[in-house]
Structure 1
Amino acid sequence: MRVLLLGGAGFIGLHLAARLLADDHAVTVVDDFSRGRRDPALEELPLDVRDADLTDPGSYRALEHGWDQIYMLAAVVGVRNVERDPARVLRVNTLALMHLLDWIEPGEPLFFASTSEAYAGGVTAGLVPVPTPETVPLVIEDVAAPRFSYAISKLHGEAAVLHGAHAVVGRFHNVYGPRMGHDHVIPELSLRAARGENPFTLYGGEQSRAFCYVDDAVEAMVRLMATPEAFGRIVHIGDDSAETGIADLAELVLRVAGADPVISPAPAPAGSVARRCPDISLLRELTGFEPKVSLEEGVRRTFAWYREHA
């Protein structure tokens, strides 16, 4: 197959590219590399890599058609980016997608990367259950709050692709692993543990999450794109097998690091939900997916990568 990865140089995109290549597909990556310099791992893969700004419609017009699969992963992500420049998040995430929908041909299979943040406001307001299915109401508590700009951009994206393309929407839930940057909880804990921080500040230890290792998330994506019944649907992607408290997660990371610091509790970041865990019954029903990588094994792999590349 010929596969197009838009935003394919990012965290999930790079892991997906490696998997698709291992399955003997021809892969083209389009990215603006706004996350920084090119990852050396990207240069080592036999990819067709194109540098382009997807907020410019000319970037799409320069692309050929005839793709067997298209994955839309391009977006500005990360709490710090969202808090610092919500207008950029809305502009980039919306324009890149709408230009794609203007360009894509009818019937070209599209995967749109969405997020559990789409319904996070409902969790905070106590309107949705946890574990959370796809059918819950989507709530934005305050459109003026910078934190919600990312969720708003993805809510718009879900509606746009379901009305404008042959698409499956995958809502990611706390996907983690090597190369995901420094602004997420497992890499951030790993880096501080590797540096020997003591006392060790623990933010929001009372909260809980269900973490999904990136290889499992990629497996779910590949399966969904091979499942005709998934198109036109929103499907939660994650690992519901081991919801974990942040305090327990920190204990695991420190044990993997061989560290035993004094723990200094601190409040959770403002606006973060107290609990997040997907109901992945629909994903199982459609594809037979089951997560394979335990949290301990995933943390060990992730910590080893960050210790080497810090």
Structure 2
Amino acid sequence: MSNIQLIIEERAADIGKFLVGRLLPFRQKRMIGPFIYLDHMGPVKLNKRDQMDILPHPHIGLSTLTFLFEGSIMHRDTLGNAVEIQPGAVNWMTAGKGIVHSERTPDHLRNENKIMHGLQIWVALPKDLEQIDPEFFHIEAQQLPSWEEDGLQFKLVAGEVLGHRSPVPVYSPLYMLEIKSTKRQTVNLEGKLFGESGLYILEGGIESEENRFGPKQILVAKNATLCEFTIEANSTVYIFGGDAFPEERFIDWNFVATSKDLIQEAKQKWIAQEFDKIPGDEEEFVPYPTFPKK
């Protein structure tokens, strides 16, 4: 019997000047554990005239996780943080009751050709923490637990699993695990995962129950504790998930909450421009989108 509950294909989504591959949410699977949103950005080639300029925009009720494979992003937020994120590092921003941030091409790269490639992820907060004060943490690549086992290279981006714990300060039981292979072999994680689990194939491929799956797909497990598959040579996959929340989460634009009232309050506050401003990035902002009537 197959342990694969659902196969999610990457879908194009417009985030302004960029098209990204959206993987979550999906109509048949809104969340995997606490993970509520996953975009694969790029790889996008930018010339000297093209920049990544995602203007100031708000969030509530979640943590964002930015993880780059190539390129560089300058993060600024209303807490006063101004941090350049580079490949392999983790930006972990907890919105809580509300934060505004921008993501731009750093000044030193604006007159160069460049590539943008990475993952943008939202992790919902537990109900009792969704209105906490906002926080921001930057974890350098060398701080993430990395190890080799049975010819596989592991890196724990966030959470706790397989006897390792990432320094990323998460708020509920979860994991985001990178696995790289140099040869074809079996990966057996039976009994080592928990909660709900998804497997995202970045490059290469895997085989499960005599079926092959390639890049830009998420496989959702029926039972996370029965995770076993064959990974092809020169492949990179991400296994992510954790304990699901008992309450439903509502999403409206950049807002996530257990209550539609909280979302409506944040929406009106943003329209009135009552959120705090970002020091050094105060002139522009992303307006609340107006959706055409059906």
Q: Which has the higher strand share?
A: 2
User: Which bin holds the TM-score, normalised by the shorter protein?
Assistant: under 0.3
Between 1 and 2, higher relative CO (CA 8 Å, sep ≥ 6) is seen in: 2
